[in-house]
Chain A
Amino acid sequence: MPIVVNLDVMMARRKISATELSEQVGITMANLSILKNNKARAVRFSTLEALCRVLNCQPADILAYEPEPADAEKKK
């Protein structure tokens, strides 16, 4: 998907571990890793809100739109 989750970058900048983040956001480690590995199909506003609150950032700091080249579609 052309929407990319850049959670790693923001986590590194805030020096927060995955365990800590999942606890403070209130999601499981499994779900956090789905999110980090760009496997998620959708993000609830409530989750996004909690992420922004804990990481003290804007949605744009976590999410990015990267248009994929036309031939990348075939690989899926």
Chain B
Amino acid sequence: MGTLESPYECVIFGGETLKSTLRLVLSFLLINFRDRFVFFMNIILPVIFLILFGSIFGKGGAQKPTTALYSDVNVKVGANFVRLANVPSKDEVKNLKYDVVIVAINNRIDVYVKSPIDLAQGEFEFFRLAYASAKSEKKVVEVREHKLNIGHSISELKYTILGVITISFLSIGLNAGVRIYSDYVRYGLFKRFSVTPIDPLRLALGVGSAQVITGLLSSALNVLLSLILFGENLFVPLNTLWAYLLVVIAAIMINLALGILLSLLFKKAAPSLSQLVFTIFIFFSGVYFPVSILPSYLRVVTYLTPPRYVHLLLQKIYGIETVNWSHFLLICIAFISFGAMMTGLATRKFLQMSDTA
């Protein structure tokens, strides 16, 4: 192989250079799996979240009933109601282990609230409507339903599993960004690399690719565990595999960029700040509970968090019309470009001399 004339004239995919790029990818990948902290945050924590949240939202694991009901007509109610066979006496009401006991007889509804927490009054109002509806023998208004079909529905469990995968991407990208561009810079990795003829682009590619592969492996593990533990099939059909790969790359790259940004702005404080960002994003990204329950000012905040978009993109792959395809591609391309730009620029910056006393 001939010598190089300029530092940046390196061909990335050619002979020895390809081998060297692959070696870099492999090295960063091995670190992701061998370093206990990184391995835990990227692989184990998402699995723990999957088991925990999967159990909470999964089949048979739906919320335990909190309301006992006796009604003289058959009222359509949700899963948090348990029907009683007989009218409970006052003592029985007191002894029943439910937060609320409802007795509906002859157009009168008695709601016994046992929990001291203020419960949603809307729930009771909703029951009153349902009871009145069941009572009405001949309906004066006939409701003609028109279902507007805009795609498939998604179960709460699927929503959560996709949320867990989204968070694992956040963890992988963010931690890599901070670790490599804050910790490793301080420890002298870039100093060591800068005396070698390494091309910044090649190093950036090595960093990015290793994280993308980690993201693919971590998400594949979660998809597999979802099937084994909860019977939820999230395997992507072959014809949309491209979209899945695109989302993984986009998610990792945008989170990597976020980690790099923290490293550039906060230097030594970046690692602890990234943990704060991680924790806050879990709450704000609408990953574990629907954004619709957030107050409107917080709903705006969710749109500033990359995981919110990644979660929407992932849902799109599973047939939920969260965004249209052109927006899907636009977001992916924007995330990948921004991530690639940040990774490239930061790598180049840190490979240049560190001229301090």
Report if A and B associate in a common complex.
no
Interface residues of B (CB under 8 A from A): none
Interface residues of A (CB under 8 A from B): none
